[in-house]
Amino acid sequence: MNEDHFGQKPTLKAISNAFHCDDTGSPFQSCIECKKELVESNEHYFIEKAIRRYPNSTETLTIFEFAICISCANQLNQSLSAESLSNITKFQMDKLRMRKIDSTSNRSEHPLSTCIFSGMDISQCEEYQIVGAFKGHDMIVSDFPFAISGSIIESMSEVLSPGTKDEFDDFVSKHFTGPPELQELWGKPKVILV
């Protein structure tokens, strides 16, 4: 995602609990990469979480979560191959076209309750990721926030170049070890969506 996402008449809302840091129970305070303070400095940033739902339960476990400032997110994007970026954009556009929506219209009042690309009910997904955009104390509501089902994440990872997959794996292994009970998930494809 790039800075243009902040160009569309955004609405500001309080940061929902879904985007609080699980570790602290409070809003994220700093960028995972450069450690820059995000809230008091009124910085633009993203938060991403990968979540697993326990079978037959409403309980969830966060696989990884982070806040990243917009300049580090841009840097991460620039490290991806042109091929992967164009494949992923095409993948997303095709999915949205199939759902006959564009990313800025017809957004549900509860954008985290369905997968933006498949329309699947997130409460039925064993794994999913959520992404939001923020400025200081506020959540920016435009084409963010959104949720993506685990099955879409897997199909998305199939269009990535080997180099981009390595970038994502490096990012995840650099910052997270992951809960030991979820060891088997760490071999799964990862897609960083910010």
List interacting residues with Zn ion (CB under 5 A). Answer: 31, 33-34, 36, 69, 72
Residue 33 Cβ vs Zn ion, minimum distance, rounded to whole Å? 4
Note whether 143 and 107 are within 8 A (CB). Answer: yes
Residue 124 Cβ vs Zn ion, minimum distance, rounded to whole Å? 34
**Amino acid in position 181:** E
69 vs 148 by CB, closer to Zn ion: 69
Q: Classify residue 3 by its DSSP letter.
A: G
Residue 58 Cβ vs Zn ion, minimum distance, rounded to whole Å? 33
Residue 75 Cβ vs Zn ion, minimum distance, rounded to whole Å? 8
Residue 67 Cβ vs Zn ion, minimum distance, rounded to whole Å? 9
| C-alpha pair distances (Å), 78 with each of 2, 23, 121 | 10, 29, 32
33 vs 167 by CB, closer to Zn ion: 33
Q: Classify residue 177 by its DSSP letter.
A: -
69 vs 194 by CB, closer to Zn ion: 69
DSSP string, 113-173: SBBTTT--BGGG-SEEEEEEEEETTEEEESS-SEEEEHHHHHHHHHTS-HHHHHHHHHHHH
36 vs 165 by CB, closer to Zn ion: 36
* 115/88 Cα distance (integer angstroms): 16
75 vs 86 by CB, closer to Zn ion: 75
Residues 6+ apart with CB under 8 A from 149: 115, 117, 118, 120, 122, 125, 127, 128
